[in-house]
Amino acid sequence: MALLITRLLLAFVFALAGAAKLADRAGSRQAIVDFGLPSSLASPLSILLPLCELAVAAALIPAATAWWGAMGALALLLLFVVGIGLNLARGHKPDCRCFGQIHSAPAGWKTLARNGILAAIAGFVLWEGNGGAGPSAVAWLGTLSTAQLLALVMGLVVVGVLAAQWWFVVHLLRQNGRLLMRLEALEESVAQGGGAAPSGNNGGVASGLAVGTQAPPFSLSGLYGETLTLEALLSHDKPLMLLFTDPNCGPCNALLPEIGRWQEEYSEKLAIALISRGDTAENRTKTSEHGVGHVLLQKDWEVAEAYQVVGTPSAVLVAPDGKVGSRVAVGPEAIRDLVRHLTKPQPPIPVTKKIGELAPEVNLEDLEDNDVKLEDFRGEKALVLFWNPGCGFCQQMLPDLKEWEENPPEGAPNLLVISAGTKEANEAMGLSSPVVLDQQFSVGRAFGVGGTPSAVLVDEEGKIASEVAVGAPAVLGLAGASPTK
């Protein structure tokens, strides 16, 4: 009976692991790559491995094949132990998607111990020898009384109900997480004044790499033998939209006429490159019909996975500086929204005040509802800092700014912070310098400032004494300080 229970436990674990991996092939491919195997092996192994696990589970149930099933289980478990151990020895803890989307966590000593225990259990079955692996998993049912059979059926029903409830709770929590991510993306967009690119998921999860992170580089072959890199595609100082498609994807093919039109109409504003896969001739036939250019072929899904794209058609923006400029837009309508956002007419660029000209008038209320004027700073240099507490770059700069306030260098100017956002958000920053509120950013436009954080130096006579400094390093440099990071 102990051998039977041991076999059923192993069969359950391997069946669950195999089925979950097949249901999450994208995650399985990524896990294989994360564990250090070549990306070229990721696709076949993401199918082969779960099939082996299912075969082991099936072999463990009949008594006739149980010993061979245990041998297969031990071989797989030892393989897992070696792979996890090597990564841990290198200080690497990749996500172990042992059970697909059901459970994913960084590999650690607990993962290693769990596989070691299961390997010991498989070894226990092998120790009994071929033919001594215990009774059949179904033959013992014939020895049970009616009452015992009913109890068994009721027990299985209870287990099934508990499993269903657990599955429901897991998916409910996952959905709640998606909603929280979406809310966070919306809050970020609002905090940035509504200027962020749309997340583009038709109301779904704001997926993909975080905006502002370095875009993963790539080098891919085109349809005519050419090789194009991310760097080459960004060489024209225009935003680049990467469109992930597949020749067997119906919505992708339906979108091709619009893509060809976008590439022609918006060539001065936006570069568009398709990243597809599959047969070169098939891709050439489908795209050339609609005049679509810059079509690159990935071997499998390696570039899509690097950008955390999980479906087609999808699109993501890369800024001219090589940083990710948007979340992943999933689906034709979300992609159209992204294109509309990128090609809509832009507001006129503010006219920058020249050095030596009189600074624009500033008369705003501070956080205590007192009127503050730029004229109040006459006779001393003033650094006019344009700020937004909802701006991520401002938040990164805040510790340096506070340190500058506490230990200003010799000859440092007085600081006047002109900020957007709520009074509460600005109070929470804890700045000791005067902070005045300009919700419409009208003073910033008068100074020729287009974003935050930016700053302008005003001399003792109230005249512009510097160009507009944009970004934390430039602002701190104008203030006479150096960033700590």
Our measurement of the distance from residue 297's CA atom to the centroid of its chain's CA atoms, rounded to an integer in Å, reads 22
Looking at per-residue pLDDT, the higher value among 287 and 206 belongs to 287
Nearest Cα to 274, choosing from 260, 289, 254? 260
Q: What 8-state DSSP symbol labels residue 464?
A: B
Rounded to an integer, the average pLDDT of 387-394 is 83
How would residue 71 be classed by pLDDT, with cut points 50, 70 and 90? Answer: confident
Q: CATH topology of 219-343 equal to that of 363-479?
A: yes
pLDDT tops 80 at residue 222 = yes
Domain topology for 363-479: Glutaredoxin (3.40.30)
Q: Are 372 and 364 in contact (CB under 8 A)?
A: yes
Q: Name the pLDDT band for 458 (thresholds 50, 70, 90).
A: very high
Residues 403-442 have pLDDT tens digits of 888 888 888 899 999 998 888 888 988 899 999 998 778 8
Note the pLDDT of residue 200.
38
Q: Of all residues in the chain, what percent carry a pLDDT higher than 90?
A: 17
Asked if residue 36 lies in contact with residue 87, where contact means CB atoms within 8 angstroms, the answer is yes
**Cβ pair 20, 99 in contact under 8 A:** yes
Please, which residues have CB within 8 angstroms of residue 137's CB and are 6 or more apart in sequence? 4, 7, 8, 61, 62, 63
What confidence score (pLDDT) does residue 216 get?
Answer: 92
Q: In which element (H, E) is residue 67 found? A: helix 66-89
Q: Which sequence spans correspond to the domains of the chain?
A: 2-143, 219-343, 363-479
Average per-residue pLDDT for the chain:
80
Asked if residue 298 lies in contact with residue 29, where contact means CB atoms within 8 angstroms, the answer is no
Q: Give 151-186 as a DSSP string.
A: HHHHHHHHHHHHHHHHHHHHHHHHHHHHHHHHHHHH
Name beta bridge partners: 385.
Answer: 417, 455
For 345-370, what is the mean pLDDT?
78
CATH C-level class of 219-343:
alpha beta
Q: Which tens digits make up the pLDDT trace of 103-134? A: 556 677 788 888 888 888 888 878 877 766 66
pLDDT computed for residue 176 by the predictor: 57
User: CA end-to-end span of the chain, whole Å?
Assistant: 64
Report whether pLDDT(364) > 80. Answer: yes
How confident is the model over 359-385, as a mean pLDDT?
90
Q: What is the mean pLDDT of residues 348-359?
A: 72
Residue 195 has pLDDT above 50, yes or no: no
Tell me how many degrees the CA angle 272-286-198 measures, rounded to the nearest 5: 35
* Structure confidence at residue 448 as a pLDDT band (50, 70, 90): confident
What pLDDT is recorded for position 90?
Answer: 72
pLDDT at 203 over 50: no
- What's the pLDDT band for 352 if we cut at 50, 70, 90? low
pLDDT in tens, 14-59: 888 888 888 777 667 767 777 777 767 877 888 888 899 899 888 8
Backbone angles phi, psi at 132, to 5 degrees: -120, 30
What are 141-175's pLDDT values in tens digits? 666 677 877 876 787 677 777 766 766 665 565 55
For 337-442, strand residue ranges (E) read 363-365, 371-373, 382-387, 414-419, 435-437
Query: What distance in Å separates the CA atoms of residue 468 and residue 354, rounded to the nearest whole number?
Result: 10
pLDDT of residue 140: 61
In angstroms, the CA 211 to CA 319 distance is 10
| Mean pLDDT for the stretch of residues 171-189 | 50
Cα separation, 153 vs 131, in Å, equals: 29
- Give the pLDDT band of residue 268 (cuts 50, 70, 90): confident
Confidence band, pLDDT 50/70/90 cuts, at residue 91: low
pLDDT at 137: 60
Closest to 185 measured CA to CA, from 174, 201, 167, 169: 201
pLDDT exceeds 80 at position 4: no
Residue 451, pLDDT above cutoff 60: yes
